[in-house]
């Protein structure tokens, strides 16, 4: 018999015999006490390693989902922006319809201000002939007359403001005690002229455009009559041309 085989057989017999003795039980229990913390530590380490490996392998998927979420957020922000824009326009339309004199206006078209020309007191609007706008249409905002359309093409038009020296409107006070003509005076001023001496006009009187009854402004100062044939008054407007953003064109 081979010597190596003999050694193996002898060792097996010894281990078998030791297994039936108390010595094996004591040694194995002591070995378990020593090896258990190592086993637990190795098990935890294995769990951490597997978790880390799972995290690393999931990174491409997480990155893809993150990009998708960013796209969704961008889309929702765009929708939200459009919603609030429509809501704002709806509130402006409600306010305009509420303040417009009944039976004195036609169809209302909302327009946005594209730019201002301070030289002649006019602004450009983003509506034109294709939208039903015509030359001479009045433009208003919350019951205040801003001016009238003077030039237009298919998709753009020019609004000549009431404060422009080129503007002329037939006007009347809200109490119908004075009637005359209003012309622009730049800034936020109008000149109320051609008032008959027999007619009464006073400070704080509201001045209206005669045909539409839209507000032109309020009398700020009545000039001394002197040698003039007609009375005159200075009228202040309640809008600032520099801050106009949305306006309403009244079509026929």
| Residue 246 to residue 252: CA distance in whole angstroms | 20
Asked if residue 83 is part of any domain, the answer here is no
Given a cut of 50, whether residue 103 has pLDDT beyond it is no
Least confident of 36-50, 78-92, 155-169: 78-92
Q: Tokens 């327009």 label which residue?
A: 111
Q: Based on the domain organization, do 121 and 231 belong to the same domain? A: yes
Q: Is the distance from CB of 236 to CB of 216 less than 8 angstroms? A: no
Question: Which of 38, 59, 75 is where one domain is finished?
Answer: 75
Torsional sign, CA 234, 239, 240, 241? negative
Given a cut of 60, whether residue 93 has pLDDT beyond it is no
Q: Based on the domain organization, do 34 and 156 belong to the same domain? A: no
| Residue 178 to residue 198: CA distance in whole angstroms | 9
Asked if residue 164 is part of any domain, the answer here is yes
| Residue 15 to residue 20: CA distance in whole angstroms | 9
Q: Based on the domain organization, do 52 and 127 belong to the same domain? A: no
Give the pLDDT confidence of 104-154 residue by residue, as tens digits.
556 888 899 999 988 889 999 999 999 999 999 999 988 899 999 999 999
Q: Based on the domain organization, do 104 and 166 belong to the same domain? A: yes
Least confident of 8-17, 90-99, 150-159: 90-99
Element holding 237 (H helix, E strand): none
| Residue 220 to residue 223: CA distance in whole angstroms | 10
What's the Cα-to-Cα distance from 69 to each of 54, 81, 83, rounded to whole Å? 22, 18, 21
Q: Based on the domain organization, do 50 and 165 belong to the same domain? A: no
Q: Based on the domain organization, do 47 and 168 belong to the same domain? A: no
pLDDT value of residue 163: 94
- Domain membership of residue 50 as a residue range: 1-75
Is the model's pTM score more than 0.75?
no
| Residue 81 to residue 79: CA distance in whole angstroms | 5
Asked if residue 93 is part of any domain, the answer here is no
């Amino acid at each position: 018999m081979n010597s190596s085989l003999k050694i193996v057989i002898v060792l097996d017999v010894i281990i078998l015999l030791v297994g039936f003795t108390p010595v094996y039980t004591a040694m194995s229990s002591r070995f378990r006490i020593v090896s258990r913390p190592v086993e637990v530590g190795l098990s935890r380490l294995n769990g951490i390693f597997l978790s880390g490996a799972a995290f690393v392998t999931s990174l491409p998927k997480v990155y893809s989902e993150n990009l998708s979420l960013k796209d969704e957020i961008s889309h929702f922000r765009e929708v939200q922006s459009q919603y609030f824009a429509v809501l704002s326009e709806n509130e402006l339309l409600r306010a305009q319809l509420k303040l417009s004199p009944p039976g004195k206006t036609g169809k209302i078209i909302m327009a946005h201000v594209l730019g201002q020309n301070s030289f002649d007191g006019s602004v450009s609007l983003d509506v034109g002939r294709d939208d039903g706008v015509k030359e001479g249409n009045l433009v208003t905002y919350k019951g205040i007359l801003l001016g009238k359309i003077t030039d237009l093409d298919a998709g753009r038009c020019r609004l000549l403001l009431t404060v422009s020296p080129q503007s002329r409107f037939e006007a009347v006070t809200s109490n119908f005690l004075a009637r005359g003509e209003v012309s622009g005076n730049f800034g936020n001023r109008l000149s109320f002229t051609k008032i008959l001496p027999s007619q009464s006009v006073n400070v704080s009187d509201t001045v209206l455009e005669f045909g539409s009854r839209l507000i032109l402004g309020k009398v700020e100062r009545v000039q001394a009559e002197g040698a003039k044939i007609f009375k005159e008054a200075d009228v202040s407007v309640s809008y600032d041309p520099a801050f106009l953003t949305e306006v309403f064109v009244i079509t026929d």
